[in-house]
């Protein structure tokens, strides 16, 4: 399916006031990439606009970015640890925590294609830890919007990332991939 979304029941679950912002973030043409203004608008809708804009101006392989990624890792670890799961799913939590450090290395190296794909897989697993089997149902996006608009918008975004295929990103500009990836990292760091 590639990075960019097709119309689906997930998309129809998006409240009208967010639909334009969501469609602009992930346009139907991969070559088009995410418009930086659309990514900023999406970050604003999630309530992370200030942090997002600040981080967009930081080079990826700097101490400042490593410090931010450390905050991301710490917060994600806390979120994972605080999830209540059946004893049989405890290993899923540990496995997920092991996937965070390689993601951070990809970001620092500037490999946003691989990082975005890996982050999508992390979000898919995280949604399972948070919501259980509900996260695999067709109405999951609608379900999350009923909880809260920002949570719904974030998990809609996560559902798009979790279906990434590298081939769908081959012609997408690196800066567009970084813009889309940074949204999720900022959101979870500030969750």
Average pLDDT value for the chain: 86
Q: Which of 14, 28, 44, 54 is nearest to 159 (CA)?
A: 14
pLDDT category, 51, cuts 50, 70, 90? very high
Hunting for tokens 């640890």 — which residue is that? 81
Q: Give a yes or no: residue 3 inside a domain.
A: no
Q: What is the pLDDT of residues 12-30, one digit of tens each?
A: 889 999 998 988 887 665 5
Residue 9 has pLDDT above 70, yes or no: no
Q: Give a yes or no: residue 58 inside a domain.
A: yes
Domain that holds residue 168: 9-189
pLDDT at 1: 33
Q: Give a yes or no: residue 85 inside a domain.
A: yes
pLDDT category, 89, cuts 50, 70, 90? confident
Q: Which of 179, 125, 167, 146 is nearest to 31 (CA)?
A: 167
| 5 DSSP 8-state letter | P
Q: Give a yes or no: residue 115 inside a domain.
A: yes
Q: Give a yes or no: residue 127 inside a domain.
A: yes
Please classify residue 79 by burial: count the beta carbons closer than 10 Å to its beta carbon, then call 0-12 exposed, 13-18 middle and 19+ buried. Answer: middle
Q: Give a yes or no: residue 177 inside a domain.
A: yes
Q: Give a yes or no: residue 2 inside a domain.
A: no
As for how many domains the chain has, the answer is: 1
How far is Cα 78 from Cα 117, in angstroms, rounded to an integer? 22
Residue 2 has pLDDT above 60, yes or no: no
CA dist 41 → 12, 96, 102, 119, 159 (Å): 20, 29, 29, 21, 19
Q: Give a yes or no: residue 4 inside a domain.
A: no
Q: What is the pLDDT of residues 121-180, one digit of tens each?
A: 999 999 999 998 999 999 999 999 999 999 999 999 998 886 666 556 777 888 889 999
Structure tokens given for 140:
């999951």
């Amino acid at each position: 399916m590639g990075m960019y979304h097709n119309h689906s029941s997930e998309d129809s679950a998006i409240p009208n006031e967010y639909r334009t912002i969501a469609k602009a973030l992930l346009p139907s043409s991969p070559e088009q990439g995410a418009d930086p203004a659309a990514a900023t608008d999406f970050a604003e809708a999630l309530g992370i606009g200030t942090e997002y804009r600040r981080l967009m101006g930081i080079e990826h392989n700097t101490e400042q970015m490593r410090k931010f990624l450390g905050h991301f890792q710490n917060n994600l670890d806390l979120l994972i640890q605080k999830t209540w799961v059946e004893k049989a799913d405890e290993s899923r939590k540990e496995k997920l925590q092991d996937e965070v450090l390689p993601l951070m290395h990809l970001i620092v190296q500037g490999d946003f294609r691989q990082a975005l794909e890996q982050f999508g897989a992390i979000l898919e697993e995280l949604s399972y830890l948070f919501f259980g089997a509900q996260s695999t149902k067709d109405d999951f996006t609608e379900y999350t919007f009923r909880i809260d608009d920002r949570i719904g918008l974030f998990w809609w975004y996560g559902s798009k990332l979790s279906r990434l295929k590298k081939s769908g990103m081959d012609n997408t500009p690196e800066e567009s991939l970084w813009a889309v990836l940074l949204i999720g990292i900022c959101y979870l760091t500030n969750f």
